[in-house]
């Protein structure tokens, strides 16, 4: 919680300024040079033109690349369609993939899909209402004629039955592995936290690939994330790629869509290419906070967890300059961390701070608060709120005594706050309440004279 500033309240505007001009204050109160910067123009590019399969190559088990057996992949009424009416009664393990011609490295891939009709007879039970978008895949020319699946990272596209839960946007790893929570993840499937989508409605799923980190998103919410996608040397097809000189770590690759025995349609397949991010910095991974941070407060670091313990007799916000500051200046950035607060606990994640002596007046705060999970009437002082700015769109807090995970993305003039996987705030930097704040500055955590724990904090420039 911070001392509120007297600022007129106006509706939030999500459009990004075409030209930004403001005076940014420097550390210690020194004025920075005026900086006028136009946000980078990014546009979604359709990979499917709605007319034909130009730019795509089919590969079906038992057939050479380019042989679209039984017209499995086709365009029907402007929809990219996977159909099996030309098959001879049985699926017979003829898994297929439709490869886009280009390889990609940093991007957001968005597809809109729906399942139709009945599963092809002979299809495996797990393939009922099952498809996928394969990313970081091997080139189609390197696939064996009888190879079932490309070595790749699969973002599963699933549909649910009338009863039971079946999330979509799960991870499958044909010939690959990933790192999850700092450890190599070897099982073939990792479920997401998405809802179950039943019936034949359209579902939108995104995969965001930034450097070595991949996120699966449904409806803007992050339902799964992991790091360091890589070839699995235990897998026969991956071994061949390694023998051909393919790098074990997957930094780019093909995109393909699956045919796995259940008819499916896509009405949107598009990509937003992104800049390569900087490396992750993990300020709590060292032996001392002073390796990457500065503070005057009562902070300690042990086993990767930073802890603020107020001095005896301190209750509430009594000190104004004992924050935990990360060294360096950050403009567009990505940060994530776990935090834990006690009942009525209060702190904040600060960014774009122009003067660490006056962070409330020269920075933006994402509120960290021990919001109880059943609270409905939210303010900007609940977890995920932006100060000054407004309340979170929903209550995603796990409450006092529980670890919460927050992800903050500041890019192209917007701030997106995701709490425990739920997108809870989207605000433009030209919003009236923060338009006067610097567009770059220091990152840090507030000292509110209340206990706070932090772990798994990492930051990178984008």
Q: Which of 19, 24, 21, 34 is nearest to 438 (CA)?
A: 24
Q: Are residues 258 and 305 in the same domain?
A: no
Backbone φ, ψ for residue 105 (5° rounding): -125, -55
- Asked if 163 and 283 sit in the same domain, the reply is no
Mean pLDDT (whole number) for 406-434: 97
Same domain, 282 and 264: no
Question: Of the residues 243, 273, 303, which one is the last residue of a structural domain?
Answer: 273
pLDDT greater than 50 at residue 247: yes
Which residue carries 């902070």 as its tokens?
299
In the chain, the number of structural domains is 2
Tokens found for residue 227: 């790091």
Phi-psi region of 219 (alpha: psi -120 to 50; beta: other; left: phi over 0): left
Give the integer Cα–Cα distance in Å for 275 and 352.
21
Is the separation of the CB atoms in 260 and 131 below 8 Å?
yes
Rounded Cα–Cα distance for residues 255 and 153 (Å)? 9
Q: Judge if 233 and 344 occupy the same domain.
A: no
Per-residue pLDDT at 14: 34
Integer Cα distance of 333 and 278 in angstroms? 9
Predicted confidence at residue 27, as pLDDT, reads 34
Confidence of residue 321 (pLDDT cuts 50, 70, 90): low
Do 147 and 255 share a domain, yes or no?
Answer: yes
Least confident of 41-50, 94-103, 163-172: 41-50
Assign 22 a pLDDT band (cuts: 50, 70, 90). very low
**CB-CB contact of 47 with 255 (8 Å):** yes
Distance CA 254, CA 35 (A): 39
Structure tokens at 390: 């407004």
DSSP 8-state code for residue 269: E
Which of 273, 293, 320 terminates a domain? The answer is 273
DSSP code per residue over 140-196? GGGS-TT-SS-SSEEEEEE-B-SSS--BSS-EE-TTEEEEETTEEE-SSEE---PPB
10 has pLDDT over 70:
no
Report the alpha-carbon distance of residue 117 to residue 426 in Å, rounded. Answer: 38
Mean pLDDT, the chain, as a whole number?
90
Same domain, 209 and 262: yes
Residue 2 falls within a domain, yes or no? no
Q: Given this model, what pLDDT does residue 25 score?
A: 31
pTM of the predicted protein model: 0.89
Contact 142, 241 (CB under 8 A): yes
- From the CB of residue 377, how many other CB atoms can be counted at a distance below 10 Å? 7
Regarding whether 220 and 285 lie in a shared domain, the answer is: no
Is the model's pLDDT at 309 over the cut of 90? no
Which residue reads 């009888």 in tokens? 146
* Domain shared by 34 and 95, yes or no: no
Residue 450 confidence class, pLDDT cut points 50, 70, 90: confident
DSSP type of residue 240: H
The pLDDT of 128-134, averaged and rounded, is: 98
Of residues 339, 277, 352, 263, the one with CA closest to residue 306 = 339
Decide if 11 contacts 4 (C-beta within 8 A): no
Do the domain assignments include residue 230?
yes
What is the per-residue DSSP string for 384-448? T-EETTB--SS-----TTS-EEEEEEEETTEEEEEETTEEEEEEETTSTTTTTS-SSEEEEE---
For residue 162, the cross-strand partners are: none
Question: Is residue 187 included in any domain, yes or no?
Answer: yes
Dihedral angle of Cα 241, 242, 245, 246, to the nearest 10 degrees? 70
Q: Could you identify the residue written with the tokens 């450890």?
A: 183
Put residue 432 in one of left, alpha, beta given phi > 0 → left and psi -120 to 50 → alpha. alpha
Helix, strand, or coil here: 204? strand
* Cis status, amide bond into 194, omega within 30 of 0: no
Residues 217 and 136 in one domain: yes
Instruction: Give Cβ neighbours of residue 268 (< 8 Å, ≥ 6 apart).
Output: 46, 48, 110, 111, 112, 204
In a domain, 7, yes or no: no
For residue 358, being part of any structural domain is answered with: yes
DSSP letter (8 states) at residue 382? S
> Do residues 243 and 297 share a domain?
no
CA proximity to 268, closest of 115, 47, 73: 47
For 198-213, the DSSP string reads BTT--EEEEEEEETTE
Q: Which domain holds residue 217?
A: 45-273
Domain membership of residue 283 (yes or no) is: yes
* Residue 4 DSSP class: P
Average pLDDT over residues 426-455: 94
On whether both 28 and 164 belong to a single domain, the answer is no
- From the list 445, 371, 444, 367, the residue with the least C-alpha distance to 402 is 371
Last residue of one domain, picked from the residues 273, 291, 310: 273
- Whether 362 is in a domain gets the answer yes
Write out pLDDT tens, residues 391-415: 999 999 998 999 999 999 999 999 9
CATH number of the domain bearing residue 333: 2.60.120.560
Same domain, 220 and 110: yes
């Amino acid at each position: 919680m911070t001392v509120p500033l007297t600022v007129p309240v106006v509706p939030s505007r999500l459009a990004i300024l075409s030209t930004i001009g403001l005076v940014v204050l420097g550390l210690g109160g020194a004025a920075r040079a005026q900086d006028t910067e136009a946000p980078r123009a990014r546009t979604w590019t359709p990979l499917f033109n709605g007319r034909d399969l130009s730019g795509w190559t089919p590969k079906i088990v038992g057939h050479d690349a380019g042989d679209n057996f039984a017209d499995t992949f086709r365009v029907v009424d402007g929809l990219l369609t996977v159909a099996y009416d030309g098959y001879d009664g049985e699926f017979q393990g003829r898994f297929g993939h439709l490869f886009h011609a280009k390889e990609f490295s940093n991007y957001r891939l968005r597809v809109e899909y729906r399942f139709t009709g009945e599963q092809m007879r002979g299809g495996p039970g797990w393939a009922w209402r099952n498809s996928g978008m394969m990313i970081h895949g091997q080139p189609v020319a390197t696939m064996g004629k009888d190879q079932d699946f490309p070595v790749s990272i699969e973002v599963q596209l699933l549909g649910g039955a009338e009863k039971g839960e079946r999330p979509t946007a799960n991870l499958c790893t044909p010939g690959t592995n990933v790192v999850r929570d700092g450890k190599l993840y070897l099982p073939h499937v990792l479920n997401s936290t998405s809802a179950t989508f039943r019936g034949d409605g359209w579902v939108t799923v995104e995969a965001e690939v930034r450097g070595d980190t991949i996120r699966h998103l449904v409806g803007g919410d992050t339902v799964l994330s992991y790091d360091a996608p890589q070839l699995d040397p235990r897998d026969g097809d991956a071994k061949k790629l390694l023998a051909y000189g393919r790098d074990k770590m997957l930094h780019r690759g093909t995109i393909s869509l699956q045919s796995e025995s259940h008819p499916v349609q896509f009405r949107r397949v598009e990509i937003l290419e992104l800049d390569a991010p900087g490396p992750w910095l993990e300020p709590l991974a060292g032996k001392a906070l002073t390796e990457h941070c500065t503070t005057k407060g009562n902070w300690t670091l042990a086993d990767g967890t930073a802890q603020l313990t107020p001095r005896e007799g301190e209750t509430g916000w009594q000190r104004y300059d004992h924050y935990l500051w990360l060294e360096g200046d950050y403009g567009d950035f990505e940060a994530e961390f776990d935090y834990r607060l006690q009942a009525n606990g209060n702190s904040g994640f600060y960014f774009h701070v122009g003067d660490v002596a006056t962070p409330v007046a020269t920075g933006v705060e994402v509120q960290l608060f021990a919001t109880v999970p059943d609270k409905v009437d939210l303010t900007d002082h609940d977890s995920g709120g932006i100060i000054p700015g407004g309340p979170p769109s929903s209550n995603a807090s796990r409450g006092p005594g529980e670890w919460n995970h927050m992800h903050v993305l500041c890019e192209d003039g917007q701030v997106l706050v995701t709490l425990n996987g739920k997108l809870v705030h989207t605000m433009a930097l030209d919003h009236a309440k923060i338009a006067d704040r610097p567009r770059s500055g220091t990152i840090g955590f507030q000292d509110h004279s209340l206990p706070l724990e932090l772990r798994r904090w990492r930051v990178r420039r984008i």
